[in-house]
Amino acid sequence: MIPDLMQAAGGIGLFLLGMLLLTDGLRALAGDRLRQVLAAFTRSPLSGAATGAATTALIQSSSATTVIAIGLVGAGLMTFPHALGIIFGANIGTTITGWLVAALGFKFKLGLAAMPLVLTGVVLRIFASGRLAQLGMGIAGFALLFIGIDMMQAGLAALEGIVTPASFPGDTILGRFELVLIGIAITLVTQSSSAGVATALVALHAGAISFTQAGAMVIGMDVGTTFKTVLAVLGGSTAMRRTGYAHIIYNLATGVMAFLILPFYVWKAEDYLAAGGDAQFALVAFHTLFNTLGVILVLPFTNAFARFIMRLVPESGTPLIDRLDERLLASPSAALDAAITTIRAIALELARGVENLLSPGGARELDPARLLELRDALDATRRYMERIRTDHDGMRLHDRFLSAMHALDHANRLLNRCQQTARIRALRGDKRLWRLARVMRSLTARFAETGDAAGLEGRFDKLRAILREQRHVVRERTIDAAAHGEVGTGTTLLRLDAARWLHRTAYHLWRITHHMAITTSSANNGGPHPEGLSDNMDNADDD
């Protein structure tokens, strides 16, 4: 008996390993295109549910789908209600694994035939590179699923007559509830509802559990996935916690509904089974039915549900860096979206600061506490971006990362400029400089209000070019006035610093809008940026 149990446990382990390899391989093959597909096709909660189901079915990971959705919400590319549609749909997508196991694992006994595929996959993973290596990992994982199923079947078949439905709680309300708890426990141990459903299918096939018992356990396995979510939301960002709570509440509600309809489903399924129907298909159909029914019932109320979740989980922590969730680092695209959105928020705050400093009523020093908060936010964003891993194989993602780093650098330099209030006050001592300062204040105010980096980049560039010329004009004129004794040495130096401040501030605003436009442009195809060198060359006199 002990060797048989060990064989069954080993089968579960191989199935789990296969799921991990298959998911990692498919995710790597899909790459950043999954993010683009989710953003492009999610226009409503309904389309989000369809896209979430298809994406999860493709990559065999509802967690990966959820992380991408959270990243899109954090980047402002998707609303929270639309992301909820994706999360609802992901529950349907996870049922595909059960259909594969029921259709192939029991009908065709693919365990032996799949073994050469493991070798094929490993050879590709070792000797190939790029997409072929990722395909090899997926092939090996797919084969291990069926080898694991065969091992589970062999182990449980040897226990026939020893482990029977009588070994489990009976068909009462309390008994079903206990079976739900068993299903939850199995998911907690395996950390995979797909592995739990596969185990229930094998146990049902071996006669170890009845159809009703298997149905109750599958409900528990579906609910059990929320415990992983509970761990994920602890200490997470607002977007992560809202998504997590939505997933928990939705799965619990779906589980209650499934528990209530289980007796009616069993009653209808008895005729099908009595006529020689396949119990495994009937069980997977129940799993798909209650998940699909749950989505159908909740979709009309998605916006109301989203408002409830947003009230349940209000904004908290430091708003500027709340999006920088460490859990997103597992997906470089999602993590980069969060970083870019944070940099944009900081840049708009700095633009408002410049607007305030150049106000007609007189230069005002910015709140020291706010300056410290901005400094801390820049440092936190820099540390976060250091942990994002991109490479030249994904050029578009890598180029967006580089542009984000440039924007972050210029935001840091602009913050230093905002603290040079003596130079800003000196602008009022020269009519030409103050006139130009008012032009920059107007343009900066528009950027702070609209955040239209792409639309304002060209105007900031023109202003920067004008200020560069005027800087030299003011320099010559001021030095000439000093030579004739019209202004003192201290005033001369301060006015020259003021002219340089105006030019350099415009330059940093131009480069911020330029790089932010690149990071958010869907038209960017990952080519090199012709202006890239100017970020380093023009910074030589940045003081």
Q: Where is pLDDT greater, at 66 or 172?
A: 172
The mean pLDDT of 271-296, rounded to a whole number, is: 92
Domain 330-541 class in CATH = mainly alpha
Tell me: pLDDT of 86 over 50.
Answer: yes
In this prediction, residue 446 carries a pLDDT of: 95
In this prediction, residue 542 carries a pLDDT of: 58
Q: Which two tokens stand for residue 414?
A: 């602009």
The mean pLDDT of 241-246, rounded to a whole number, is: 84
Q: Which two tokens stand for residue 308?
A: 């409830």
pLDDT by residue (tens digit) across 334-381?
888 889 989 999 999 999 999 999 988 755 677 888 889 999 999 999
Per-residue H/E/C for 219-257: HHHHHHHHHHHHHHHCCCCHHHHHHHHHHHHHHHHHHHH
Q: What is the largest CA-CA distance in the chain?
A: 111
Which residue, chain included where needed, has tokens 């290596």?
Answer: 133
The mean pLDDT of 165-177, rounded to a whole number, is: 88
- Looking at residue 330, its amino acid is A
In this prediction, residue 523 carries a pLDDT of: 33
CA–CA distances in Å: residue 61 to residues 93, 431, 446:
8, 63, 43
In this prediction, residue 188 carries a pLDDT of: 83
Tell me: pLDDT of 77 over 80.
Answer: no
In this prediction, residue 12 carries a pLDDT of: 85
Q: What angle do CA 149, 151, 157 make, to 5 degrees?
A: 100
Percent of the chain past pLDDT 90, that is, above it, reads 35
Per-residue H/E/C for 407-467: HHHHHHHHHHHHCCHHHHHHHHHCHHHHHHHHHHHHHHHHHHHHCCHHHHHHHHHHHHHHH
pLDDT by residue (tens digit) across 514-523?
999 998 764 3
In this prediction, residue 293 carries a pLDDT of: 95
Tell me: pLDDT of 76 over 70.
Answer: no
Q: Name 160's bridge partners.
A: 163
Tell me: pLDDT of 54 over 60.
Answer: yes
Percent of the chain past pLDDT 70, that is, above it, reads 89
Q: Where is pLDDT greater, at 524 or 227?
A: 227
In this prediction, residue 31 carries a pLDDT of: 66
In this prediction, residue 60 carries a pLDDT of: 74
Q: How far apart are the first and last CA of the chain?
A: 77
Mean pLDDT score of the chain:
84
Q: Where are the domains of the chain?
A: 2-312, 330-541
Lowest mean pLDDT among 59-73, 202-216, 491-505, 527-541: 527-541
Q: Where is pLDDT greater, at 83 or 237?
A: 83
The mean pLDDT of 5-33, rounded to a whole number, is: 81
In this prediction, residue 508 carries a pLDDT of: 97
CB 231 within 8 A of CB 239: no
In this prediction, residue 500 carries a pLDDT of: 93
> Would you place residue 533 in the very low, low, confident or very high pLDDT band (cuts 50, 70, 90)?
very low
Tell me which range, 3-7, 213-217, 397-401, is most confidently predicted by mean pLDDT: 213-217
The mean pLDDT of 151-175, rounded to a whole number, is: 80
Tell me: pLDDT of 325 over 90.
Answer: no
Quote the CA–CA distance of 534 and 537 in Å, as a whole number.
5
Quote the CA–CA distance of 283 and 217 in Å, as a whole number.
11
pLDDT by residue (tens digit) across 396-452?
788 889 999 999 999 999 999 999 988 888 888 888 889 999 999 999 999 999 999
Tell me: pLDDT of 535 over 70.
Answer: no
Spell out the residues 6+ positions from residue 387 whose beta carbon is closer than 8 angstroms to its own: 326, 329, 335
Quote the CA–CA distance of 108 and 103 in Å, as a whole number.
8
In this prediction, residue 87 carries a pLDDT of: 87
182-201 residues labelled b (16+ CB within 10 A) or e (exposed): bbbebbeebebbbbbbbbbb
Tell me: pLDDT of 532 over 50.
Answer: no
What are the phi and psi torsion angles at 394 (to 5°)?
A: -110, 80
Tell me: pLDDT of 215 over 90.
Answer: yes
> Would you place residue 531 in the very low, low, confident or very high pLDDT band (cuts 50, 70, 90)?
very low
> Would you place residue 464 in the very low, low, confident or very high pLDDT band (cuts 50, 70, 90)?
very high
Q: Which two tokens stand for residue 172?
A: 């009462």
